[in-house]
Amino acid sequence: MARQLIIGAGLLAALIIFPLLSPWSTVILTVALCEGLAALGILVLLRAGQVSFGHGLYFAFSAYVVAFMAAARFGHEVLILVPVATAASGLLAALVGLFVVRYRAIFFGMLNLAISMVFFSLLEKLFSITGGADGKRVPRPTLAGISLERAEFELWIFYITLGLAVLAALGVARYLLSPGGKALEAIKSNETRLEYLGVSSRKVLFGAYVLSGLLAGLGGAVIALVSGHVTPELAYWVRSGEFVFIAILGGVGGVVGPFLGALMFQIIRGYAAVYAPETWHAVLGVMLLVIIFFAPNGLYGLMTGRKPAGTGQ
């Protein structure tokens, strides 16, 4: 725990200072935080041994809620848009969760994938409503009632997201240490015993699923704000796969992991985009293989040199 706090505090300090030194990084860092939030949701599910290849659904859903509300000039204010969109994602996760928590392992993953692909196809197909593959613009909303210039807006959004990410990470860390969090891990290690404790593993997983949907939704809402544009690609399965990628890259041993992973992901992708613009997928793929084979506990595992709690290796 102490190690986790030190790494977390170090990362936080770096994140607070960096945008002030190089303004161009603000958006990239915000995107990293958003992806880190979604990957944190994946981490929660991974603790239960479940992999979702469809969390792009919540990421995209929330982003589109922001886009629609912004287009309608309805509550065109960050402090309204973000909570509403996140809550909407949570609601959707609760609805989908009612079904998917009955499934495990590959079936859980597949069902999530299928549902997210249905949503993706609808976004592309319902051209007159969603703007099809070209997506929708998100005009910049006010922040606490103030209309800001781009640079200011981005900087503020970054620090707000950073604050929310810290809260989310602390909250998830706390949850994972609580009896409910341990029960979640129990789904992975022995669901039979959990049932014989009189605990409904579906209810436990349901809670975690909604939490993961909220986290992905928060990330999606913010990414819609900083990009100013949403596209169906946010819900595509490759995007969902990237969240899992980021979670594993960062390591699922601690809540700092996904954020480390997301930062690393952005850094690699940034460099690859400059030095290998036509093969950046491959660069990321190789990186992923290296992590899996040589540091299966991710960057966080490398830093702490510890086995992650609750993973069966």
Chain positions 187 to 216 lying near other proteins, rule: CB under 8 A, are 189-190, 192-193, 195-200
Integer Cα distance of 140 and 146 in angstroms: 11
Please, which residue, 22 or 95, has the CB nearer to other proteins?
Answer: 22
Kindly state the smallest distance separating residue 251's Cβ from other proteins, in Å.
12
Show the tokens assigned to 217.
């939704």
**Segment 43-82, which members bind other proteins (CB under 8 A)?**
46, 49, 51, 53
**77 Cβ contact list (under 8 Å, min separation 6):** 141, 142, 143, 144, 145
Q: Tell me how far CA of residue 93 lies from CA of 104, 202, 212, 245, in angstroms.
A: 16, 14, 8, 21
Kindly state the smallest distance separating residue 53's Cβ from other proteins, in Å.
8
Kindly state the smallest distance separating residue 179's Cβ from other proteins, in Å.
4
- Total residues contacting other proteins by CB under 8 A comes to 106
Please check whether residue 46 is in contact with residue 254, taking contact to mean a CB–CB distance below 8 angstroms: no
Amino acid at residue number 180 = G
Kindly state the smallest distance separating residue 6's Cβ from other proteins, in Å.
20
Kindly state the smallest distance separating residue 131's Cβ from other proteins, in Å.
7
What's the distance, Cα to Cα, between the start and end of the chain in Å? 20
Integer Cα distance of 123 and 128 in angstroms: 10
Which of 123, 25, 121, 9 shows the shortest CA–CA distance to 65?
123
Please, which residue, 69 or 223, has the CB nearer to other proteins?
Answer: 223
Binding other proteins (rule: CB under 8 A), the pick from 77, 137, 143, 268 is 137
Stretch that binds other proteins, among 3-11, 17-25, 72-80, 81-89 (CB under 8 A): 17-25
- Helix (H/G/I), strand (E/B), else coil: 176: helix
Q: Does 109 bind other proteins (CB under 8 A)?
A: yes
Integer Cα distance of 209 and 212 in angstroms: 5
Stretch that binds other proteins, among 7-15, 73-81, 127-135, 254-262 (CB under 8 A): 127-135
Please check whether residue 54 is in contact with residue 261, taking contact to mean a CB–CB distance below 8 angstroms: no
Stretch that binds other proteins, among 69-77, 81-89, 133-141, 254-262 (CB under 8 A): 133-141
Q: Does 245 bind other proteins (CB under 8 A)?
A: yes
Q: Does 13 bind other proteins (CB under 8 A)?
A: no
Kindly state the smallest distance separating residue 204's Cβ from other proteins, in Å.
9
Please, which residue, 86 or 240, has the CB nearer to other proteins?
Answer: 240
Q: Tell me how far CA of residue 132 lies from CA of 115, 126, 233, in angstroms.
A: 18, 6, 10
Please, which residue, 91 or 288, has the CB nearer to other proteins?
Answer: 288
Q: Does 145 bind other proteins (CB under 8 A)?
A: no
**Segment 257-296, which members bind other proteins (CB under 8 A)?**
269-270, 273-274, 277-282, 284-286, 288-289, 292-293, 296
User: Quick one: CA torsion of 79, 171, 46, 1, rounded to 10 degrees?
Assistant: 140
CA angle 15, 21, 24 (to 5 degrees): 85
**Segment 153-182, which members bind other proteins (CB under 8 A)?**
155-156, 159, 171, 174-175, 177-182
DSSP character at residue 137: E
Binding other proteins (rule: CB under 8 A), the pick from 9, 95, 129, 152 is 152
- Helix (H/G/I), strand (E/B), else coil: 49: coil
